[in-house]
Amino acid sequence: MNGTSHIVAFYVAPKNGLYEVNELQTLLESLLPDIIPSRKEDFFKLGPYLMFGHLFLLEEIGTQVIHTSIEIKDDLIELPDDFVDGKYVYDDKLSIMRCMMIKLFPNELIAKEAMKGNFEEKINKFDLVKFRLLQHNP
């Protein structure tokens, strides 16, 4: 996420697997009952794909202050009102942010694959069936 200095991802999956959009969405919304996420991406179907849902929590973990000082010595230049005696000084305070992502997957095997960089955002219906069978028939 833009402006984020520290990103933490939690890969979460129900022990027995859930495979329907409404079941997964209900579980996603129950993961943090007392916290309003900064952003939420819902589960949904898009053609042959199941798009995964995520929760995002942003928190300020620090600040950065940038001090700027400008001095113009040319008396012939007309300066803005912000300049006093040819000098302009200001401090800009920036937040240092952490983003925590809670990424919910249909089962543990898919979550493990996502941790390897596969199926992070979506899975097609054929792979979903394959991982469902593997999860329940190792």
Q: Is residue 87 part of a domain?
A: no
Q: Is residue 121 part of a domain?
A: yes
For residues 33-51, give the mean pLDDT: 96
For residues 48-57, give the mean pLDDT: 97
Query: pLDDT class for 2, splitting at 50, 70, 90?
Result: low
Q: Is residue 70 part of a domain?
A: no
Check whether 25 has a pLDDT greater than 70: yes
Whole-model pTM above 0.75? yes
Cα–Cα distance between 63 and 60 in angstroms, integer?
A: 8
Strand 122-124 relative to strand 39-41, pairing: unpaired
Q: What is the pLDDT of residue 52?
A: 97
- Taking CA 29 as the corner, what is the angle to CA 48 and CA 129, rounded to the nearest 5 degrees? 30
Inter-axis angle of helices 125-136 and 108-115, nearest 10: 120
Q: Is residue 90 part of a domain?
A: no
Give me the residues paired with residue 49 across strands. Answer: 46, 124
Q: What is the pLDDT of residue 34?
A: 93
Q: Is residue 116 part of a domain?
A: yes
83: which residues sit within 8 A by CB, 6+ positions away? 70, 72
Check whether 111 has a pLDDT greater than 80: yes
Q: What is the pLDDT of residue 1?
A: 47
What domain range includes position 35?
Answer: 4-57+98-136
Q: Is residue 65 part of a domain?
A: no
Q: Is residue 62 part of a domain?
A: no
135 SS3 class:
helix
Give me the residues paired with residue 69 across strands. Answer: 89
Domains contained in the chain, number: 1
